[in-house]
């Protein structure tokens, strides 16, 4: 309970600075959108650099690791072609995040998962690293916690960055991180 009180106090104290920083980041992305619409290729590369961790994390939390790179590329191609449909330039992060999630869902609709043979399963288990064990535990979590933890622990984004790019509130991201980490810890303890 002490932890939740600390979280609440920190949340209200740090809110103003977070909002200023997030507003500046969002404005920069809006400027990049304007430049892209004028035909500036460098602006699109800059946007790709800024948002690829977000897209990679979202796709990584949903599809097999072998398919992640291809799907990330597809998401950015779809985003580039659909930029004229973007109405709110300040919400490009949440917009591209929704494209990534939809593309991941479409991947599973097209490619139904196949059953593994027992031999391959045994081989996989023997070569399983600790990293894979942690990743498997994360993948068993609910989607909201899974995505937030992947963005935090795999992609290295901070909580405020996750909130800015996904469009979630800071409070939601804090809750997802806190509860997701709690569930992950209990799963890892059970496995060990």
| Binding of another protein by 155 (CB under 8 A) | yes
Q: Does residue 8 bind another protein (CB under 8 A)? A: no
Compute the least distance from the CB of residue 154 to another protein, in Å.
5
Q: CA 93 to CA 133: how far, in whole Å?
A: 30
- Binding residue for another protein (CB under 8 A) from 49, 109, 125, 192? 49
| Identified binder of another protein from the candidate list 29, 56, 103, 165, rule CB under 8 A | 56
Residue ranges in 61-120 that form contacts with another protein under rule CB under 8 A: 65, 68-69, 72-73, 76-77, 80-81, 83-84
Q: Residue 123 or 185: which CB sits closer to another protein?
A: 185
With binding defined as CB under 8 A, does residue 39 bind another protein? yes
**Residue 181: closest CA among 146, 156, 157:** 146
Which residue in 156, 169, 171, 186 binds another protein (CB under 8 A)? 156
Structure tokens at 92: 């490009």
- Taken in order 105, 109, 114, 115, the sign of the CA dihedral is positive
Task: Work out the angle between the directed axes of helices 41-60 and 68-81 (0-180°, nearest 10).
Answer: 140
- The answer to whether residue 179 forms part of the interface with another protein (CB under 8 A) is no
Q: Which of 30/181 has CB closer to another protein?
A: 181
Asked if 141 interacts with another protein (CB under 8 A), we say no
CA distances from 2 to 6, 172, 175, 179, 180 (A): 6, 19, 15, 15, 18
Instruction: Give the residue with the Cβ less far from another protein, 117 or 131.
Output: 131
Rg (CA), the chain: 19
The DSSP string of 105-155 is HHHHHHSPPPPPPHHHHHHHHHT--HHHHHHHHHHTS-HHHHHHHIIIIIS
List residues binding another protein (CB under 8 A). 3, 6-7, 10, 37-39, 44-45, 48-49, 52-53, 56, 60, 65, 68-69, 72-73, 76-77, 80-81, 83-84, 130-131, 134-135, 152-156, 158-160, 174, 177-178, 181, 184-185
């Amino acid at each position: 309970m002490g932890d939740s009180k600390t979280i609440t106090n920190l949340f209200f104290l740090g809110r103003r600075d977070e909002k200023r920083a997030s507003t500046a980041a969002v404005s920069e992305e809006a400027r990049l959108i304007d430049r892209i619409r004028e035909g500036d290729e460098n602006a699109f590369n800059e946007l790709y650099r800024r948002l690829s961790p977000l897209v990679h994390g979202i796709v990584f939390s949903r599809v097999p690791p072998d398919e992640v790179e291809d799907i990330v590329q597809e998401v950015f191609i779809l985003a580039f072609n659909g930029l004229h449909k973007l109405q709110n330039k300040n919400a490009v992060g949440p917009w591209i995040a929704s494209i990534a999630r939809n593309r991941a869902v479409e991947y599973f609709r097209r490619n139904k998962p196949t059953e593994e043979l027992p031999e391959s399963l045994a081989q996989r288990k023997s070569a399983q690293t600790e990293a894979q064990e942690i990743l498997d535990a994360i993948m068993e979590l609910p989607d909201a916690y899974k995505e937030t933890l992947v963005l935090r622990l795999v992609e290295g984004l901070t909580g405020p960055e996750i909130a800015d790019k996904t469009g979630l509130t800071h409070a939601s991201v804090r809750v997802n991180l806190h509860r997701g980490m709690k569930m992950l810890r209990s799963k890892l303890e059970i496995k060990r």
